[in-house]
Each structure stands twice: as structure tokens, then as C-alpha cells.
Amino acid sequence: MQLTDEFIQNEAYRSDVYRLLSACYCKPGNEFAEEGLAKNLAAALEPVLREAVPFAKNMDEALASHSAQDILIDYSALFIGPFKLLAPPYGSTYLESERTVLGSSTIDAIKRYRSAGVEMDPGQKDIPDHIATELEFMYYLITKEIEAYRASNREEASKHLEAQQDFLKRHLGAWGPKFAADVKKGAKNPFYKNLADCTLLFIKSDMDYLKNVVGGKGN
């Protein structure tokens, strides 16, 4: 793989997409529209996955045409309850045979966080394999990769690239498609329907991207 400024900029765009997707799965409020969350997502997607941009633009239109309360109601029905969750946002509910939370897959995710130098905040209420947490972890890994490249430490950067690929394979890429299908099926608001499409398309594309980059890192 030939290291260029263009490549590093592309990695920065990838990190932005993961960071913004993570934010989209947090509790919604007026700040989603006020801070241009979906607009920023569309801008980050443009250089790396143009096919996903229409979904982000549809999300922005949904934020403009629906109240924050409307978005929150759909968010709660999908991810919070109080009744059966329409789209459980936890990896373990898709990866464990009995769809339980805090299973062996959750422990594996925690080990990967710690191995990368990330400790869970004791005050965090979400289970460690929440979709927002796993997306944010990918953002973190890419950020560390970029830092290593800028410090001319290609060996360290390669480790972070491999960690990204393995985490997608074992976690987000393994349960993300089923989760996205549940979100799209259960969502009533176009914000979450389009978020599901955007998330699925990006994760699949990024898995292919990393397969090429990690496979060709020695070139």
C-alpha cells in the first residue's frame, strides 16, 4: 500500500462517518437538526461512499420535517422499550444463541476495547456492545491509525488497520446487517429507515475496503 496524503485524508473521512453514525444511534434531541448531524454525515460519505449519500440526505429531510419528539418516539420504540424492542441495539442479542445480553461476544468486545487502550466509563449506562459504542470504537481505531501514520510508525498503523478489519468481521459486520434489517422493518420515521440503509451499506463497503487495504499493505 502506498502511503499518500490522499490516503490519510480518506481515512479521516472514514473516521468521520463512523463517528457520525455512532451519534445517530444516541438519544435524539433538537441538536440533531441544529448541529446538522445528517448534513455532516452526507459530507463525510461523499468522498468514500457516494451511493450512501442519498440516505443521509433523506435523514436530513426527516429531521427538518419531523419534530425532535417524533424522532424520539421512534427511537424509544426501536431501542428502549418499555415493551419488546423492535431492534435491540446490542450485538449479543444477535450473536448469542439465546439472544441474551452480556454474553461471551460482549466480553470479547470489551477485551478488544482494552487491547486497543480503551477502558469503559464506569458511569456509562449502555451495554458495551451497543451499536453506538461499537461504531465509536471503529472511529477510535481509525484515529489511532492516522496518528501512527503521521508519526511515521507504519507498523503501529498496520496493527490498527488489522484491528479494524477483525472487529468488523467479529462484531459489527457479523450482526450489523440483521440489526439494520430490524431497524428498517420496525421504524416508522424515515430518519431511522434511512439510517438503517446507510449503516448497512457503509459497513459492507468498509469491510471490502479493509480487505483490499490490509491485504495490500505490504505493496
Q: What is the pLDDT of residues 145-155, one digit of tens each?
A: 999 999 999 99
pLDDT of 15 reads 98
Nearest to 15 by CA among 179, 113, 144: 144
What CA–CA distance (Å, rounded) separates 80 from 83? 8
Consecutive sets of 10 residues in the chain, 219 residues long: mean pLDDT of each? Answer: 81 98 96 97 97 98 96 96 88 82 81 84 74 97 96 94 96 95 97 98 97 70
Instruction: Count other C-beta atoms under 10 Å from residue 67's C-beta.
Output: 11
DSSP one-letter code for 67: -
Q: What is the pLDDT of residue 156?
A: 94
Residues with Cβ within 8 Å of residue 47, at least 6 apart in sequence: 9, 10, 13
Provide the total of helices (H) and of strands (E) in the chain, helices listed first.
11, 0
pLDDT at 65: 97
Condensed to tens digits (0 to 9), the pLDDT of residues 165-206 reads 999 999 999 999 999 999 999 999 999 999 999 999 999 999
Write out the three cell numbers for 75: 427511537
Confidence at residue 148, expressed as pLDDT on a 0 to 100 scale = 95
Q: Give pTM, 2 decimals.
A: 0.93
CA distances from 212 to 1, 15, 206, 209 (A): 9, 18, 10, 5
Mind listing the domains of the chain with CATH numbers? Answer: 5-215 (1.10.3480.10)
User: In 3-state terms, what secondary structure has residue 116?
Assistant: coil
Instruction: Answer whether 79's CB lies under 8 Å from 130's CB.
Output: no
